[in-house]
C-alpha cells in the first residue's frame, strides 16, 4: 500500500515538471521569434506614408554605423557597410520623394548626407537635383563629396567636369583624400567621354578666386586637371583685376565724356590716335598742346570711340602708384604687377597725366630706376600702351631726358581753334548739357564764355578754355536749373 502511494506521488511530480518545461520552452521560442523579427526589421523595407518612421529608421542605422564611419580610411569603406546599404535602400525607394532625399543630402549630418547622395545615384528622378548639389558642393563633408562626384558621373546629363572644383577652398589642396577623390572622379569623367570644361559655374558670384582653384587642380595631377588649369591661365590673361587696380587708380567711364562734343577739326587727329592700336605692335600716345586747349577732352573722346572695340582706359599717376608704399620693394612690386595687369591682351590703356613727373619719381636708396624706367621695357615690347599729355615745352624736356621715347610714342598735336569754331562748339556743348542735365542756358552764355576765355586765358587755349568755363558754371551749384550770363562770370 505504501509502495503504491509513493508511485502515485512520483507521477504527479513528473507531470508538473513536464508542464513547467513545456511552458519555459514556449517562452524561449517566442523570445527567439521576437529577436529574429527585430534583426530582420531593417531589411524588410516598408515605407510608411509619414516622415517620422523614415527618420527613425535612418537615425537608428546612422547610430549603428557612426563609429565605423568616423574611423573609415576612405569613403569606399562606408559604401560596403551593411547598415549604410540599408539606409541607401530606404532613400532610394521611389515612395520617398526626391525633395526629402535632398534634405538629407544637404543636411548637417554628414553620414546621412553620404547616404542620401548614394541614393540619388540610384534614383531615376534625381537629375533635377544635380544643379543644387553643385551649387552647395563646397559645404559638403569630404566623404560626402565622394558620393556627390559618383552621383554626377552616373547622370545622363552631367554637369561640366570642372564645375565642382570652381568652389575650391584653400584647405582642399592640403587634403590628400580629397585629391584622390577628385583624381578618381576625373578618370571616370574621361571614361565617359566628357570634355574638361568649367561651364558657366566659373563666372558665378560664388566661384572662388582663380588662384585658389588653380592651386587645388595642380595637386590633382591628372590630364583633365592640367587642361582645366590651362583654361584658368587663359582666362587670367584676359581678365581685368579691378580689385587690385582700383586700390591706386580709377577706370574711365562713359559718364566722363557725356558732355563732350567732337570738333570736326579733330577728326584727322582722332584717326591718327586710333591707328596706334591697329598696328601689329601697338604704340603709345602723347597728346601735345597748350594749356586748356582740350588735350584731356581729346583723349576722353578717343576712349569713347575705342570703347566700341572693347578698349578700357585706366588712370593712375606716379603719386597714385607711390601712395602708401613705405617699405623697400613695395613700390617695385606694385609697378611690376601693374604692368602685368595693364596689358594689350586685356585691351587696357594706362593713362598717365604727367609722364615727365613719372620719369622723376620712384627712385630711392635701393632703387636707381624711376617708375618710367621700370615700365619702359613693357612699352617697348608693345605689351603696355600708355596715353599721356603735355604742353610742347614739357614734351621737349621729356624727349631730352628719355630719348628712347621718340620711337615709342606717337605724337598727336591738338591745335587751338579760332573764336568762330569755338563759339559753334560751345553752343553744341550747351545744347547737350541742357538735354542731358535738364538745364536752361540763356543765349548769351556761349558768347560770354568764349569772350572771357579769350580775354583772361588767352586765345591759345581755345576751345578747351571756353568749354572749361561752361563746365565750371554747371558744377558750381548743382541745384541751379537756369544759367544766366552773370553765372558764367
- Find the CATH number of the domain harbouring 438: 1.10.8
Per-residue 3-state assignment (H helix, E strand, C coil) for the chain: CHHHHHHHHHHHHHHHHHHHHHHHHHHHHHHHHHHHHHHHCCCCCCCCCCHHHHHHHHHHHHHHHHHHHHHCCCHHHHHCCHHHHHHHHHHHCCCCCHHHHHHHHCCCCHHHHHHHHHHHCCCCCCHHHHHHHHHCHHHCCHHHHHHHHHHHHHCCCCCCCCHHHHHCCHHHHHCHHHHHHHHHHHHHHHHCCCCCCCHHHHHCCCCCCHHHHHHHHHHHCCHHHHHHHHHHHHHHHHCCCHHHHCCCCEECCHHHHCCCCCCHHHHHHHHHHHHHHHCCCCCEEEEECCCCCCHHHHHHHHHHHHHHHCCEEEECCHHHHHCCCCCCCHHHHHHHHHHHHCCHHHCEEEEECCHHHHHCCCCECCECCCHHHHHHHHHHHCCCCEEEEECHHHHHHHHHHCCCHHHHEEEEECCCCCHHHHHHHHHHHHHHHHHHHCCEECCHHHHHHHHHHHHHHCHHHCCHHHHHHHHHHHHHCCCCCEECHHHHC
* Total of domains in the chain: 4
**400 and 478 housed in the same domain:** no
Boundary-marking domain end, from 109, 139, 159:
159
**229 and 258 housed in the same domain:** no
**262 and 368 housed in the same domain:** yes
Query: Quick one: pLDDT at residue 276?
Result: 94
In a domain? residue 483: yes
Boundary-marking domain end, from 413, 431, 457:
413
Query: Quick one: pLDDT at residue 43?
Result: 42
In a domain? residue 354: yes
**255 and 379 housed in the same domain:** yes
How far apart are the C-alpha atoms of 118 and 116, rounded to whole Å? 5
**106 and 120 housed in the same domain:** yes
Query: Quick one: pLDDT at residue 363?
Result: 81
In a domain? residue 39: no
The torsion of the CA quartet 223, 227, 229, 233, rounded to 10 degrees, works out to: 150
In a domain? residue 224: yes
Query: Quick one: pLDDT at residue 51?
Result: 46
**283 and 400 housed in the same domain:** yes
- Domain range for 458 is 419-488
**177 and 322 housed in the same domain:** no
Give the residues of the chain that fall short of pLDDT 70.
Answer: 1-52, 435-437, 466, 468-489
How far apart are the C-alpha atoms of 246 and 388, rounded to whole Å? 19
In a domain? residue 14: no
In a domain? residue 478: yes
**275 and 401 housed in the same domain:** yes
**259 and 391 housed in the same domain:** yes
In a domain? residue 430: yes
pTM, two decimals, is 0.61
**152 and 167 housed in the same domain:** no
**262 and 222 housed in the same domain:** no
Distances (CA, A) of 117 to 92, 123, 149, 181, 315: 10, 10, 9, 15, 51
In a domain? residue 44: no
Q: Nearest-CA neighbor of 316 among 348, 364, 281, 344?
A: 348
**200 and 153 housed in the same domain:** no
Amino acid at each position: 500500500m505504501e509502495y503504491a502511494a509513493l508511485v502515485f506521488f512520483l507521477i504527479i511530480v513528473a507531470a508538473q515538471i513536464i508542464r513547467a518545461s513545456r511552458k519555459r520552452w514556449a517562452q524561449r521560442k517566442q523570445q527567439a521569434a521576437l529577436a529574429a523579427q527585430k534583426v530582420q526589421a531593417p531589411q524588410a523595407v516598408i515605407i510608411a506614408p509619414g516622415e517620422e518612421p523614415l527618420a527613425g529608421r535612418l537615425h537608428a542605422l546612422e547610430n549603428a554605423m557612426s563609429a565605423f564611419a568616423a574611423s573609415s580610411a576612405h569613403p569606399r569603406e562606408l559604401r560596403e557597410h551593411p547598415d549604410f546599404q540599408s539606409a541607401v535602400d530606404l532613400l532610394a525607394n521611389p515612395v520617398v520623394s526626391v525633395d526629402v532625399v535632398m534634405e538629407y543630402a544637404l543636411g548637417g549630418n554628414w553620414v546621412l548626407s553620404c547616404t542620401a547622395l548614394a541614393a540619388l545615384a540610384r534614383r531615376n528622378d534625381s537629375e533635377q537635383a544635380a544643379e543644387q548639389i553643385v551649387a552647395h558642393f563646397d559645404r559638403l563633408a569630404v566623404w560626402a563629396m565622394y558620393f556627390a562626384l559618383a552621383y554626377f558621373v552616373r547622370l545622363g546629363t552631367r554637369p561640366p567636369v570642372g564645375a565642382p572644383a570652381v568652389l575650391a577652398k584653400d584647405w582642399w589642396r592640403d587634403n590628400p583624400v580629397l585629391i584622390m577623390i577628385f583624381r578618381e572622379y576625373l578618370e571616370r569623367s574621361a571614361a565617359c567621354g566628357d570634355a574638361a570644361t568649367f561651364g558657366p559655374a566659373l563666372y558665378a558670384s560664388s566661384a572662388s578666386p582663380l588662384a585658389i582653384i588653380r592651386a587645388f587642380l595642380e595637386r590633382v595631377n591628372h590630364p583633365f586637371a592640367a587642361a582645366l588649369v590651362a583654361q584658368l591661365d587663359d582666362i587670367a590673361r584676359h581678365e581685368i583685376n579691378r580689385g587690385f587696380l582700383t586700390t591706386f587708380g580709377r577706370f574711365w567711364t562713359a559718364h566722363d565724356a557725356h558732355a563732350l562734343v567732337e570738333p570736326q577739326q579733330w577728326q584727322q587727329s582722332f584717326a591718327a590716335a586710333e591707328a596706334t592700336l591697329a598696328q601689329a605692335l601697338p604704340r603709345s600716345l602723347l597728346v601735345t598742346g597748350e594749356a586748356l586747349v582740350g588735350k584731356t577732352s581729346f583723349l576722353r573722346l578717343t576712349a569713347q570711340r575705342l570703347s566700341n572695340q572693347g578698349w578700357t582706359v585706366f588712370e593712375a599717376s606716379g603719386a597714385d602708384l607711390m601712395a602708401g608704399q613705405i617699405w623697400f620693394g613695395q613700390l617695385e612690386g606694385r609697378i611690376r604687377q601693374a604692368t602685368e595687369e595693364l596689358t594689350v591682351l586685356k585691351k587696357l590703356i594706362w593713362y598717365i597725366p604727367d609722364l615727365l613727373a613719372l620719369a622723376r619719381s620712384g627712385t630711392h636708396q635701393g632703387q636707381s630706376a624711376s617708375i618710367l624706367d621700370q615700365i619702359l621695357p613693357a612699352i617697348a615690347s608693345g605689351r603696355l600702351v600708355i596715353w599721356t599729355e603735355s604742353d610742347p615745352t614739357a614734351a621737349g624736356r621729356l624727349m631730352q631726358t628719355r630719348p628712347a621715347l621718340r620711337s615709342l610714342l606717337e605724337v598727336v598735336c591738338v591745335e587751338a581753334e579760332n573764336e568762330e569754331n569755338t563759339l559753334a562748339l560751345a553752343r553744341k556743348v550747351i545744347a547737350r548739357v541742357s538735354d542731358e542735365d535738364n538745364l536752361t542756358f540763356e543765349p548769351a552764355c556761349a558768347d560770354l564764355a568764349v569772350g572771357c576765355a579769350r580775354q583772361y586765358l588767352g586765345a591759345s587755349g581755345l576751345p578747351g578754355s571756353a568749354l572749361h568755363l561752361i563746365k565750371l558754371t554747371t558744377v558750381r551749384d548743382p541745384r541751379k536749373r537756369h544759367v544766366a550770363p552773370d553765372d558764367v562770370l
